[in-house]
Structure 1
Amino acid sequence: MINFYKTLINNNSNKKISNDLIEYHNCKSTIINKCPYCESKTIIKYGMYKNIQRYKCKDSMCGKTFTNEIYNQFRYSKKFKENYQEYLALLNKGLTIRECASKLNITVVTAFFWRHRFLFDLKNKYYVENISSYVELTKMIVNENFKGSRNITANKRDKITIINAVNDSIDILPIIAARNFFGFYEIRDNLVPRLNKSAYVVGLIDGRLKTFAKAFNEINKVSLEEKYKNNIDIQYSINTQKWLSKFRGVASKYLDHYLYWRLFEYKNNFELKKTMLSSKTMKTKIYLNSKITTYISWENIKSKTLPI
């Protein structure tokens, strides 16, 4: 069995990692040196509009005009700019989307969009392509959920497998790994590319993960250091599944957003516990980061799909 895993690892398909972060504009930089649509560097200044410099892409296949407002995280959303701090406070209190909408006199659709703007921003901040050092793998399975969908064509709900990778630095990588069956090829295509070859991998609870981890370490000739004797968190996936249940169903296509929300809360609780050892006056309330640095459109939120 271990030899079979070794064969799969050696013949890794190098499948490109699916990552919807390409849909956002990072708003930290306002220097215009390329077209935000086609990324061509052949751009020119193209007049002024309301004292704002306009640019035009000279690529014959593009030719679009734009300003540096394309990188403004609050563009097209004056109401969000004026109310996002208050909305964030309501979100941190645990209010539902409908309750937030009522408090701020906005529609439920707007409240839903604002929540996912925050969650998408969290994903952007904490996303890592692969994980290294001492890594623990745990598995959770959730039923596919079509919450909010009006046109459901599927006759049955699939089982979605999520592998949560946690390392000793409390970097966390939630991997949506399989649909219905988590087998050898799902491991090869979806799990192996997310693990750094220098990582020492430990599979917990699940027998298949244990066997895979042993093969991964042997083929990459990585040994366990003396300091890693205790597990970081064998219950991470179990507790994450319990955490998701409080939302009374999460649409599967937004599952990764919520997994990064859980990741954020977990990391902050971990840092809080560490800080409280030296300070008894530390406040115990956990808050989402209020600084928005990305932009994602409502169309991209609606068209989002489960990345598997």
Structure 2
Amino acid sequence: MIQKKVKSKKLKQHINNFLKKDIYKNKKIECCQICGGKNYIKHGSYKGIQRYKCKDCGKTFSNMTNSLWSYSKKDLDIWVKFIELMIKRKSLRFCAKKLKISVTTAFYWRHKILNGLKIDSVPKKLEGDIHINKTIIVENFKGCRNIMTTKRSNIWVIAAKGNEDSMLVMPAFKHCWMRGIFYEKVYSRIEKGSYIIPYNDRYITAVAKEHNKKLIKERKEDDRVKFIIMNIIKWFSPFKGIATKYLEEYLSFFILFNLDRKIDYVDIICYLSFGNRFIRTKEIGL
């Protein structure tokens, strides 16, 4: 029997290293994460993570480069716990207290995660039965300083869902309906032969009528799109107001809770671990 006591701090470090190894052990490197060059060699390892050196730019990188937590001084297990709390929509103060980090750190972590989720959240195409609706959200200046106006614009949020297990929910335009922007951001993704099912909006209904000229189909409603305004209000309520400049990121997060497939924090961690998900703190909110 081993009698030696293991210090909790050392054990925590080992758990963190095992987490990194497990997440990145099967990651395939296809090019330099700095310059994109394909002329690179293995360059040792650091804490079990494989490192590489690019012969084109001369810089080194690893399996973790450009992942969400690149350059973070906090252990990966804290990030994992934060993502779990974020999925439960806990407040920043609750997360900060629970994980012993500052509220400012919790704020930037939340937005780094939201930005990482936003990158691939919008489907490139919509096909089959396309359900489209809109809701209007009043502009929110939460967290903004030196506000020069008291007038708040109407933000048109368009929701669209086809047969694929994905959903498009985005702030499309301000003030009023803009047909050109709608065609660019939404209609351009709709495949030919698809059938548009509009909800509660005369402009979208007009687009659907023109699109469905020679198509006759039985209408089946989708409550996720039909009641989009109630779904958004209910889901947003724990956040106690969302600044308009971050609205697109929060809507990307909202989409995950409105898909048929079940997603937990482990899936999100794996998703955020690969690809170029990194964003610098100073770029948040620009």
Percent sequence identity over matched residues?
26
Match among 178, 194, 198 for residue 199 of structure 1: 194
Alignment size in residue pairs = 253
Per the alignment, residue 101 of structure 1 pairs with 96
Instruction: Compare 181-190 and 208-217 and name the one that shifted more.
Output: 181-190
Name the SS of the counterpart of 1:95 in structure 2.
coil
Work out which of the residue numbers 31, 35, 46 in structure 2 matches 1:34. Answer: 31
Using structure 1 for the length normalisation, give the TM-score. 0.69
Q: Distance in 2 between matches of 1:301 and 1:86?
A: 24
Aligned pair partner of 2:158 in 158, 163, 177: 163
Would the aligned equivalents of 1:113 and 1:301 in 2 still touch at CA under 8 Å? no
- Offset, 1:91: 3.0
Query: What's the offset of the Cα at 1:99?
Result: 1.3
What residue ranges of structure 2 are gaps of 5+ in the alignment?
1-23
Distance 1:153 1:73 in 2: 34
2:68 maps to 1:56 = no
Separation in structure 2 between the aligned mates of residue 65 and residue 91 of structure 1, nearest angstrom: 35
Q: Residue 205 of structure 2: which of 207, 210, 226 is its match? A: 210
Could you give the per-residue CA deviations for residues 166-194 of structure 1, whole angstroms, max 9, x where no partner exists? 22445311132112121222223322223
Q: Does 1:293 align with 2:271?
A: yes
2:15 aligned partner: none
Aligned CA distance change for structure 1 residues 240 and 56 (closer, same or farther; 3 Å)? same
SS class of match (1:197): coil
Q: Give 1:252 shift.
A: 1.5
Alignment of 1:79-228 (within 5 A): 79-124=74-119, 126-153=121-148, 156-218=151-213, 223-225=215-217, 228=218
Q: Deviations over 1:258-280 (max 9, x none)?
A: 1122221122xx557xxxxxxxx
Instruction: Describe the SS at the equivalent of 1:79.
Output: coil
Query: Which secondary structure does the structure 1 equivalent of 2:187 belong to?
Result: helix
Moved more, 294-303 or 194-203: 294-303
**Deviation at residue 138 of structure 1 after TM alignment:** 0.6
Find the aligned partners of 2:40 and 2:165 in 1 and give their Cα distance. 45
Q: Deviations over 1:27-86 (max 9, x none)?
A: 897444433344344x3449657595442363xxxx462312415444322525121232
| SS of corresponding position for 2:250 | helix
2:61 maps to 67
Deviations 1:202-247 (A, max 9, x none): 21100110001111233xx5x244xx43211221233213432442
Indicate the RMSD between aligned Cα atoms, in angstroms.
3.1
Q: Which residue of 1 aligns with 2:14?
A: none
Q: Normalising to structure 2: TM-score of the pair?
A: 0.74
CA distance in 2, matches of 1:126, 1:28: 25
2:227 pairs with 1:235: yes
Q: Distance in 2 between matches of 1:46 and 1:98?
A: 42
Distance 1:172 1:300, change over 3 A: farther
When residues 263 and 100 of structure 1 are mapped into structure 2, their CA distance, relative to the original with a 3 A threshold, is same
Distance 1:206 1:72, change over 3 A: closer
